[in-house]
Amino acid sequence: MKEMNSYALEAQALKKDYPHFMLGPLSFSIEAGTIAGLIGRNGAGKSTTLKSIMRLISSEGTVKVFGKDFSEDEGAVKELIGYVGGGFRFYPNRSLSAIAKAVAGFYPHWDGEGFKRICEAYELVLSKKVRELSEGMKIKFSLALALSHGAKLLLLDEPTSGLDPLSREDFCDTLLALKEQGVTVLFSTHITSDLMRVADRILYLSEGALLADEPLETLMKRYRIAMFSSAEEAASAQAVGVKRVKDGFEGLIAGREGREATLDEIMIHLEWGKGEAK
């Protein structure tokens, strides 16, 4: 039996209605000290999920962070969370030190010396202006700000979007180092190679619903890719997300037959099958 606060994040019946889209209700939990990847095609609800957790948009459901209810203890919960939204919206002509000073005012437990140490480790020069930073360094600056108020849970929305391969590799190294320090991470991404490198768990969203929520290793072992001569043969084998390919038909199957599936292929076939594999 797990201890009460072994989860860094617990979301129950998270729901958001828009005129042409509905998120949830979603219920999931992220164990403390792990890295979870939130994946899905554009418009699946990834950003909406993260914003709903942060209460940046009005939504239904409950959110607990290390056992603390967000609605009952919002101030304490926000101290525990570091949120990096899509894009980098700090003033381009302000120095990093000026921005840090402004951000520090929002957090009673801001650690100025700790911030400087993190910036040194990340090779951030505080006298530089935001416009002088590469995309990779902007992400590091966002992480430094988040970690300097004692954040134990990072929520990152497409943090590697636009980064070159070397910067993404550097980012993945940073996440793994933070995990070793006990920090929990939930980040959305389209780049499955990053997930294969760092993620412990996968949450796969499709049209606002969870198609998969399980450890990455379990998900990768669950499915194989099988080839079929006809759609009827694939249906008989209970293949998921069957689609026509050059040499016939291809589908996702449970078990040991067929070849190993990539995470991209699992996503594609589950999307085509709309959860019929469950």
- Over residues 133-137, the mean pLDDT reads 85
Q: What does CATH list as the number for 7-207?
A: 3.40.50.300
At 4 the pLDDT is 45
Considering 59-68, 170-179, 246-255, the range whose residues carry the highest mean pLDDT is 59-68
User: Does the model's pTM come out above 0.85?
Assistant: yes
pLDDT of residue 278: 42
Q: Average of pLDDT values for 82-109? A: 84
The pLDDT confidence band at residue 3, using thresholds 50, 70 and 90, is very low
Instruction: Provide CB contacts within 8 A for 189, sequence distance 6+.
Output: 37, 38, 39, 158, 159, 160, 161, 195
Please list the residue range(s) of the chain that carry CATH number 3.40.50.300: 7-207
pLDDT digits over 142-198, tens only?
Answer: 888 888 888 899 999 988 877 788 888 888 998 999 999 999 999 999 889 999 999
Q: Per residue in 59-91, is it b (16+ CB within 10 Å) or e — as a string?
A: bebebbbbeeebeeeeeebbbbbbbbbeeeebe
